[in-house]
């Protein structure tokens, strides 16, 4: 739906609206030209409107004018992108989250907030340098501190940047506003469709996560989400999630569990976009484990080795760096904003780092 698409370059759209000429706006941005002059109070307002630097507290007149402009198609999203950049420069994660939420049209945002249940504590998705909201200043400082021999945890506490087990730098994307926009309870599969996921929707229409979509707009543009609420009689083992390219699938008995799984799978989507160590499946390790066990136990009937092969394959799957990272994303769900900065991300891993493997 058009309401869920981000402008290709929201900040440029704001400049275009101000300059009155898209081509001139692009040139002005590339060449860092000053804003055109306008008579009277509008000149000061316009200059502040296109500035990406944090601004002093606004007067009521300026706030009213910006609220009115926010209803102009395209300009509202451009102003949101501007406010994200201002908050980033001001080291204000809460401000970034609030600005990112305004990417959602006002009416739809209110309806989503009214219809969405409180989803409990927030978790964090780990992002990389390809994210639109990546903080290069903090990352550069992290590199300098590492070269100076500063402890990795101290680097994290000072910069919000850390080097993951795969050797690549990470920051975090807040998940405070993430949750289902669709009615999760309506996605109940039945015997008639073999209990397969029954809702396949554009991800922006099914799942709200403005901070992630601001960081990776292509997920919003191309992602799709399949959702199934498992019936009460199905075992907990039926809960599952999957990510293939831009297709995300989740099956769970509860909305909170499904939300957690979606975040896990979205972390895999970020890994794919960043070139991070990725996740996998137990099946990719089964044949190798089974054949080795058969060779090592020639007197044992192969049928008695399948369980051991399953266990080994599952253990190797859990030891993948990408899977451990996605579980760490879920594990940080109970941390407050202050605790997240104090708890080093690697402390959220459920396996010793020396046991992890890239593939």
- Same structural domain, 27 and 159: no
- Same structural domain, 134 and 249: yes
Judged against a pLDDT cut of 90, whether residue 143 lies above it is answered with: yes
What six digits make up the tokens of 79? 């102003």
Beta strand pairing status for 179-180 and 207-208? antiparallel
Task: Among 96, 115, 134, give the residue marking a domain's end.
Answer: 115
Burial class (CB in 10 A: 0-12, 13-18, 19+), 324: buried
- Same structural domain, 225 and 100: no
Output the pLDDT for position 244. 83
Task: Using alpha carbons, select from 43, 49, 93 the residue that is nearest to residue 70.
Answer: 49
- CB-based contact 18:66 (threshold 8 Å): no
What six digits make up the tokens of 33? 């030209």
- Same structural domain, 161 and 264: yes
Output the pLDDT for position 186. 78
- Same structural domain, 58 and 190: no
Task: Report how far residue 101's alpha carbon sits from residue 95's, in angstroms, rounded to the nearest whole number.
Answer: 10
Task: Among 115, 148, 183, give the residue marking a domain's end.
Answer: 115
Task: Report how far residue 245's alpha carbon sits from residue 315's, in angstroms, rounded to the nearest whole number.
Answer: 24
- Same structural domain, 351 and 297: no
What six digits make up the tokens of 26? 């692009």
- Same structural domain, 54 and 135: no
Mean pLDDT, residues 179-196 taken together? 74
Predicted model pTM: 0.63
CA distance from start to end of the chain: 37
* DSSP-derived secondary structure letter, 252: E
Q: What is the pLDDT of residues 243-286, one digit of tens each?
A: 888 888 888 888 889 898 999 999 999 999 999 999 999 999 99
Highest mean pLDDT among 94-108, 177-191, 231-245, 273-287: 273-287
Task: Report how far residue 45's alpha carbon sits from residue 201's, in angstroms, rounded to the nearest whole number.
Answer: 41
Band of residue 95 on the pLDDT scale cut at 50, 70, 90? low
* DSSP-derived secondary structure letter, 131: S
Mean pLDDT, residues 133-139 taken together? 96
Judged against a pLDDT cut of 70, whether residue 124 lies above it is answered with: yes
Q: How far is CA 185 from CA 46, 228, 255, in A?
A: 47, 9, 8
Q: Tell the residue number behind the tokens 């400049």, with chain if given.
A: 15
Output the pLDDT for position 246. 83
Bigger pLDDT: 275 vs 9? 275
Judged against a pLDDT cut of 60, whether residue 2 lies above it is answered with: no
- Same structural domain, 331 and 256: yes
- Same structural domain, 163 and 71: no
Output the pLDDT for position 268. 93
Bigger pLDDT: 131 vs 189? 131
- Same structural domain, 327 and 209: yes
Q: Which residues pair with 251 in a beta bridge?
A: 228, 240
User: Within the chain, where are the H helices?
Assistant: 10-19, 22-31, 41-50, 60-69, 75-89, 93-101, 106-115, 136-147, 152-159, 203-206, 210-215, 217-222, 255-274, 283-296, 306-318, 321-331, 337-342
- CB-based contact 82:14 (threshold 8 Å): yes
Q: Which residues pair with 255 in a beta bridge?
A: none
Task: Among 92, 115, 138, give the residue marking a domain's end.
Answer: 115
- Same structural domain, 252 and 195: yes
- CB-based contact 89:153 (threshold 8 Å): no
Q: Which domain holds residue 257?
A: 124-280+320-355
Judged against a pLDDT cut of 60, whether residue 10 lies above it is answered with: no
Q: Picking from 95-104, 195-204, 263-272, which range would have the lowest pLDDT averaged per residue?
A: 95-104
Mean pLDDT estimate for the chain: 74
Mean pLDDT, residues 310-332 taken together? 92
3-state secondary structure of 2: helix
Mean pLDDT, residues 55-65 taken together? 54
Task: Write the DSSP assignment of 5-28 as a string of letters.
Answer: PPPSSHHHHHHHHHHS-HHHHHHH
- Same structural domain, 100 and 176: no
Bigger pLDDT: 113 vs 56? 56
Mean pLDDT, residues 13-28 taken together? 40
Number of domains in the chain: 3
Task: Report how far residue 6's alpha carbon sits from residue 84's, in angstroms, rounded to the nearest whole number.
Answer: 14
């Amino acid at each position: 739906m058009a309401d869920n698409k981000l402008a290709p370059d929201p900040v440029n759209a704001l400049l275009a609206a101000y300059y009155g000429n898209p081509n001139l706006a692009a040139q002005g941005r590339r060449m860092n030209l000053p804003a055109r002059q306008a008579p009277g109070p509008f000149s000061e307002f316009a200059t502040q409107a296109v500035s990406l630097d944090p601004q002093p507290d606004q007067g009521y007149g300026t706030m009213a004018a910006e609220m009115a402009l926010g209803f102009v198609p395209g300009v509202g999203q451009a102003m949101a992108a501007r406010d994200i950049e201002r908050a980033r420069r001001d080291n204000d994660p809460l401000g970034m989250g609030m600005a990112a939420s305004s990417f959602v049209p006002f009416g739809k945002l209110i309806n989503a907030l009214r219809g969405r249940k409180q989803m409990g504590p927030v978790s964090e998705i780990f992002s990389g340098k390809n994210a639109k909201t990546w903080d290069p200043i903090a990352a550069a400082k992290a590199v300098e501190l590492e070269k100076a021999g500063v402890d990795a945890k101290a680097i994290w506490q000072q910069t919000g940047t850390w080097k993951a087990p795969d050797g690549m730098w990470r920051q975090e994307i807040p998940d405070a506003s993430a949750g289902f926009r669709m009615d999760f309870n309506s996605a109940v599969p039945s015997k008639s469709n073999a209990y397969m996921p029954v809702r396949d929707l554009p991800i922006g229409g099914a799942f709200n996560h403005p901070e992630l979509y601001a960081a990776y707009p292509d997920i919003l543009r191309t992602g799709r989400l399949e959702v199934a609420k498992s019936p009460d009689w199905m075992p907990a083992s039926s809960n599952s999630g999957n990510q293939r390219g831009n297709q995300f699938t989740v099956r769970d008995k509860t909305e909170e569990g499904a939300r957690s799984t979606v975040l896990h799978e979205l972390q895999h989507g970020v890994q794919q976009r960043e070139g991070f160590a990725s996740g996998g499946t137990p099946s990719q390790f089964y044949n190798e484990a089974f054949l080795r066990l058969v060779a090592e136990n020639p007197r044992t009937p192969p049928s008695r080795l399948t369980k051991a092969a399953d266990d080994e394959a599952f253990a190797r799957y859990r030891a993948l760096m990408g899977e451990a990272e996605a579980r760490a994303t879920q594990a940080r769900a109970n941390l407050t904003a202050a605790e997240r900065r104090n708890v080093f991300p690697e402390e959220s891993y459920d396996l010793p780092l020396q046991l992890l493997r890239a593939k």
